[in-house]
Amino acid sequence: MPSMVFAGLNIVTATVSPSDVNFMPSSWPPAPDFPICISTEGEITARYGDNEWDLTPWAGFVLKLNFGESKRKKSGDISPENSEIFKRIVAFWIYGPNPCREIRTLVSQYENFRQVFTYCTKNNIVATDLYRFPKVIESFSKVVWPSQARHLIVLLHTLWERREHSGVYILDAKGIAELQSKIPAHEKSQTAYIPPRIWLYQLSRLRDFLEDFRSNLGALEACAEYCLQAYALNAGSVGAACSQQLTKYNLPFVSLSNPALKSKLFSGHQFGPFYITAENFGILDLLEKWCGDVRHNGVTILSQYFSMASNIGKAYLLNFTLMRIDETSSLRSDCLVIEKDKITKEDIYLLRGSTNKTVEDDEACWITSPSSNMAIEVMNSVSKFRTRCASFNSNISLTEEDKQNPFLALRAYEPWRRSTRFDTAPDIRCHELHYSMFLSRYPRLFDTNELKIQEGDLAGALLITPTLSPAKYAVGKIWPLAWHQLRRTGAVNMSASGIVSDPSVQYQLKHASRAMTRYYGNGYYHLNANLNQEAQAEYIRAMYESVARSFSALNTSTFVSPHGEKRKDQILNLVSAKDHNKLVKAAKDGAIGYREILLGACANPMPCPYGGIDYVGRCGGGDGKPPCLDLLIDKGKKQQILKLRDVLQKRSRDAEDGSPFHISIKYQLQAVESVLDVIKNS
Between strands 559-560 and 595-597, the pairing is unpaired
* Greater pLDDT, 385 or 270: 385
b/e burial code for range 200-231 (CB count within 10 A of at least 16 → b) = bbbbebbbebbebbeebeeebeebbeebbebb
Q: Check: CB of residue 531 under 8 Å from CB of residue 365.
A: yes
pLDDT at site 366: 81
Confidence tier at 566 by pLDDT (50, 70, 90)? confident
Confidence tier at 175 by pLDDT (50, 70, 90)? confident
| Cα distances (Å, whole numbers) of residue 599 to 500, 617, 624 | 18, 11, 18
Residue 321: name the closest of 345, 334, 344, 337 by CA: 337
Q: Check: CB of residue 44 under 8 Å from CB of residue 35.
A: yes
pLDDT at site 576: 46
pLDDT at site 221: 97
Dist CA 427 CA 41 (whole Å): 13
Residue 95: name the closest of 158, 161, 19, 6 by CA: 6
* Greater pLDDT, 615 or 256: 615
pLDDT above 60: residue 520: no
Confidence tier at 431 by pLDDT (50, 70, 90)? confident
Confidence tier at 333 by pLDDT (50, 70, 90)? very high
pLDDT at site 79: 94
At residue 20, the 3 state secondary structure works out as: coil
pLDDT at site 506: 38
Instruction: State the amino acid at position 311 in one-letter form.
Output: N
Instruction: State the amino acid at position 628 in one-letter form.
Output: C
Range ranked top by mean pLDDT from 355-364, 407-416, 464-473: 407-416
Average pLDDT of the residues in 364-388 = 91
Percentage, residues of the chain above pLDDT 90: 41
| 443 preceded by a cis bond (ω within 30 of 0) | no
Average pLDDT of the residues in 214-232 = 97
Confidence tier at 533 by pLDDT (50, 70, 90)? low
Average pLDDT of the residues in 304-328 = 92
pLDDT above 50: residue 62: yes
pLDDT above 90: residue 238: yes
Range ranked top by mean pLDDT from 246-255, 350-359, 513-522, 538-547: 246-255
Dist CA 581 CA 599 (whole Å): 28
Dist CA 572 CA 549 (whole Å): 12
pLDDT at site 494: 66
Percentage, residues of the chain above pLDDT 70: 80
pLDDT above 70: residue 479: yes
Range ranked top by mean pLDDT from 40-49, 262-271, 521-530, 536-545: 40-49
Range ranked top by mean pLDDT from 34-43, 562-571, 645-654: 34-43
The domain limits of the chain are 12-182, 554-682
Q: What is the pLDDT of residues 602-629, one digit of tens each?
A: 777 666 766 555 678 888 888 888 888 8
Range ranked top by mean pLDDT from 161-170, 531-540, 548-557: 161-170
Where in 286-398 does DSSP place strands (E)?
A: 336-340, 347-353, 364-368
Instruction: State the Rg of the chain over Cα.
Output: 31
Q: Measured at the alpha carbon of residue 89, what is the angle toward residues 84 and 90, in degrees to the nearest 5?
A: 100
Q: What is the pLDDT of residues 373-383, one digit of tens each?
A: 999 999 999 99
pLDDT above 60: residue 289: yes
Q: What is the pLDDT of residues 112-145, one digit of tens each?
A: 999 999 999 999 999 999 999 999 999 998 888 7
pLDDT at site 632: 84
pLDDT at site 617: 84
pLDDT at site 526: 43
pLDDT above 60: residue 331: yes
Q: 49 exposed, middle or buried (CB, 10 Å; 0-12, 13-18, 19+)? A: middle
Dist CA 671 CA 641 (whole Å): 11
- Least confident range from 78-87, 199-208, 377-386, 489-498: namely 489-498
* Greater pLDDT, 477 or 644: 477
pLDDT at site 159: 93
Confidence tier at 148 by pLDDT (50, 70, 90)? confident
Q: What is the pLDDT of residues 6-50, one digit of tens each?
A: 989 999 888 888 999 999 999 999 999 999 999 988 999 999 999
pLDDT above 90: residue 212: yes
- Least confident range from 34-43, 114-123, 297-306, 565-574: namely 565-574
Q: Check: CB of residue 232 under 8 Å from CB of residue 345.
A: no
| pTM for this predicted structure | 0.64
Residue 509: name the closest of 371, 311, 365, 327 by CA: 371
pLDDT at site 575: 45
Cα four-point dihedral sign 395, 400, 405, 407: negative
Residue 321: name the closest of 539, 547, 527 by CA: 539
| Cα distances (Å, whole numbers) of residue 76 to 72, 87, 185, 289, 580 | 7, 16, 25, 42, 40
96 contacts: CB under 8 Å, gap ≥ 6: 2, 5, 6, 7, 162, 165, 166
pLDDT at site 193: 86
Confidence tier at 505 by pLDDT (50, 70, 90)? very low
* Greater pLDDT, 8 or 74: 8
Compute how many other C-beta atoms are within 10 angstroms of the C-beta atom of residue 7: 14
* Greater pLDDT, 583 or 376: 376
- Greatest CA span in the chain, whole angstroms? 102
Partners of 632 in beta bridges: 601
* Greater pLDDT, 98 or 168: 168
* Greater pLDDT, 253 or 510: 253
- Least confident range from 116-125, 363-372, 501-510: namely 501-510
